[in-house]
Amino acid sequence: MKRILSLVFSALLFFGSLFVLPVSEAGADSFSLSSVYEPYFILVNADTPNVSYRGIEQDADKQVYPASTTKILTCIIALERGNLKDMVTVSHNAVNFGRGNSLMGLQEGDQYTLEDLLYGMMLPSGNDAAIAIAEHIAGSTDAYAELMNQKANELGMTHSHFVTVHGKQNDNHYTTVRDMAILTAYALNRSEKSSEFRKIVGTGKYTASSGPRALPLVNSNRMIIDAPTTETLTNPISCLYPDAIGVKTGDTAKAGKCLIAAAERDGVTLIAVLYGGTLGDPDYNDGWTDAQKDKYNVKRFNDAAAMFDYAFADMMHSVTVGELANHGMPLTFEVTINNASPEDSNGGVLTANADLSSEMVVSILQPDPNANPTDIEIEALTTITNNYAPIPEGAVIGSVIYRYKDRTILSANLLASRSVKEGTAQTQIAPAPSNDGVVQGSLIGGANSTSVNPTDEGMPIGESAGGCGLPKEIRWLPIVLVIVFVLLLICVVLFVLYLRAEKKRRKRAAARRRARQRAMQNGQSDTRR
């Protein structure tokens, strides 16, 4: 049975490793700026948002109109200054919009929580929600715009000026794609309210239910959720991106079709800002049907996805297990085997070897394209599943997984380097051992470092958790003996009860026979008379 379980465990580890051990480098060709449809764009790593990744930018510092991507700034300020549970009363000014505006669906006098209004502003891009939020936080939209410009200055958005809270066209309301990348990186990663911001912009569908009517809301970011089917658009093009986490769309006649998108993989956050889609495009026709326009509407989402694909592939580096081992990744671990023979030369301590080939290739994502793939810190976590003698050489006694930035990059069985003979049972009792170990191999700078080997603190010979001092092979014997004794006792009691009942039955039968005999004798006497 042990051998069968070991084989099953080995098979599971092997097949699991197929999913985490790419065997070839995911390289990437240079990215063509001409492939991007939008005239103004930039791709950045959120850790360095003022610098484009690999020079992927075009007119990044030219002043442009941000349209509804403005609401990113409106949202983060509201999160930092407001209370999500506050009830906000909707004014007449907040609902004074004509046709052609993106709205949450509010009515004058409605009361909804600030949280619901933030979803209404960021998902369907509700201009009504933006004004209601601004009036609640600052008293007026003009006062709120002052807060927006203050925050922009704090963040170093030196080429931006904001006049409206929703982004409707105003010639004095402008920014640059680089400034918006800086703002978005702050909202996603550096604000005290980044987690709440991420939750909102990463939501596909939401229902605002705190007010007089339940308002269903759908995100306009098609990298998060597919566009809903309508009478005029029965088969919208899917632009879903598996690593997408937000952020905001925008669309006005002068700004064009805008998108600020973010994607995250293995702890790396990328931000793509794309503005001005379809502006001046001679092929675009306002008289087209929605289905005809859709292929242009999705260009911004497809361009963002292409940028993300290139950057993530460019960040992937291939390295062999041997190279990682040479730079400090531990492949051997000391394990104490319980119930080892007293004659064992190493006192029951053996070396467990990770069952890995030095030629095996591992793919590791690093945001610095010039980084050495071995200049990383890998965490090794061991699980010991069999540390009780006898242990044959080469036996699977556990497993190890290697993690980098909370991602498992490698896993393997742990094999016993030698055999350990079984010792005699002892009765000394000690706490059960801890079978999990963690090793952290520091590979910073590519220099060899001394790794700390996890040693299982074994119990005294013969000890096993819950085994009452008996060897593993016979620790069930006392339980069996107790069960047998109880069964025998029950049988004895039942037998005694049976004998007593039988004795009483025989006495009653004898008494009945004597009574019949006396009755017969009395009858015969009467007959003689």
- pLDDT confidence bin for 305, thresholds 50/70/90: very high
Of the two residues 317 and 458, the one the predictor is more confident about is 317
* 408 and 280 belong to one structural domain: no
Shared domain check, 411 and 359 = yes
Do residues 308 and 337 both lie within one domain? Answer: no
What average pLDDT does this structure show over 11-32? 43
- The 268-277 sheet, strands edge to edge: 52-58, 40-45, 268-277, 256-265, 244-252
Measure the CA angle with vertex 149, ends 78 and 123; round to 5°: 40
What is the distance between the alpha carbons of residues 219 and 121, in angstroms, rounded to a whole number? Answer: 10
Q: Are residues 225 and 154 in the same domain?
A: yes
For residue 415, the domain's CATH number is 2.60.410.10
Which residues, including other chains, have CB under 8 Å from residue 522's CB and lie 6 or more apart? none
Among 103-112, 172-181, 468-477, whose mean pLDDT is lowest?
A: 468-477
Choice between 273 and 519, residue whose per-residue pLDDT is larger:
273
Going by pLDDT thresholds of 50, 70 and 90, the confidence category of residue 527 is very low
Query: How many structural domains is the chain composed of?
Result: 3
Asked if residue 393 is part of any domain, the answer here is yes
Q: Is the pLDDT of residue 432 over 70?
A: no
Give the structural domain span for 396.
2-21+327-446
13-27, 260-274, 316-330, 335-349 — which is least confidently predicted? Answer: 13-27
Q: Output the six-digit token pair for 517.
A: 């005999």
Could you tell me if residue 48 is inside a domain? yes
Q: What is the pLDDT of residue 19?
A: 35
Q: Could you give the C-alpha distances from 289 to 37, 249, 296, 470, in angstroms and in order? A: 21, 21, 12, 81
Assigned domain for 525 exists: no
Active site residue 71: yes
pLDDT at 229: 92
Q: What pLDDT was estimated at residue 369?
A: 65
pLDDT digits (tens, 9 = 90+) for 235-250: 999 999 999 999 999 9
CATH number of the CATH domain containing 170: 3.40.710.10
Is 125 a known active-site residue? yes
Is residue 378 located within the same domain as residue 433?
A: yes
Query: What's phi and psi for 32, nearest 5 deg?
Result: -90, 115
Report whether pLDDT(164) > 70. Answer: yes
188 shares a domain with 94: yes
Select which of 6, 24, 52, 68 is catalytic.
68
Give yes or no for residue 217 having a pLDDT over 80. yes
**Within a domain: residue 190?**
yes
Residue 175 pLDDT > 90, yes or no? yes
For residue range 374-391, what is the model confidence (pLDDT) as tens digits? 777 889 999 999 999 999
| Helices 71-81, 114-122: inter-axial angle, 10-degree rounding | 160
Query: Same domain, yes or no, for 132 and 48?
Result: yes
Query: If you count them, how many residues does the chain have?
Result: 529
Which pLDDT value is given to residue 24? Answer: 29
Residues 183-213 pLDDT 10s: 999 999 999 999 999 999 999 999 999 999 9
Which one of 52, 125, 220, 451 is the catalytic residue? Answer: 125
Inform me whether the pLDDT recorded for 463 exceeds 70.
no
Q: How far is CA 459 from the centre of its chain?
A: 37
Q: Tokens at residue 159, please?
A: 């080429």
Q: Which of 347, 326, 330 is nearest to 418 (CA)?
A: 347
Whether residue 441 is contained in a domain is answered as yes
Domain identity same for 45 and 154: yes
Candidate list 71, 248, 257, 299, residue with the active-site label? 71
Mean pLDDT over 285-305 rounds to: 94
319-340 pLDDT, tens digit each: 899 999 998 899 999 999 999 9
Percentage with pLDDT > 90 across the chain: 63
pLDDT of residue 500: 84
Mean pLDDT in residue range 448-474: 39
93 vs 14: which has the higher pLDDT: 93
Q: Which residue has the higher pLDDT, 302 or 27?
A: 302
Residue 461 lies in a domain: no
**Judgement on whether residues 243 and 133 belong to the same structural domain of the protein:** yes
Residues 6+ apart with CB under 8 A from 157: 175, 179, 180, 182, 183
In a domain, 121, yes or no: yes
Q: Does residue 166 surpass a pLDDT of 70?
A: yes
- Mean pLDDT (whole number) for 337-346: 91
Q: Both 284 and 165 in a single domain?
A: yes
> At residue 140, does pLDDT exceed 70?
yes
Distance (Å) of CA 510 to CA 499, 500, 505, 519, 523: 16, 15, 9, 14, 20
3 state SS of 103: coil
Give percent of the chain with pLDDT exceeding 70.
Answer: 82
How many Cα atoms sit within 13 Å of 208 on the Cβ side? 31
Is 219 inside any structural domain? yes
Backbone angles phi, psi at 158, to 5 degrees: -75, -10
User: Over 60: is that where the pLDDT of 528 sits?
Assistant: no
88 plus 39 within the same structural domain: yes
The reply to whether 111 and 260 lie within a common domain is yes
Region 395-413 average pLDDT: 91
pLDDT at 428: 43
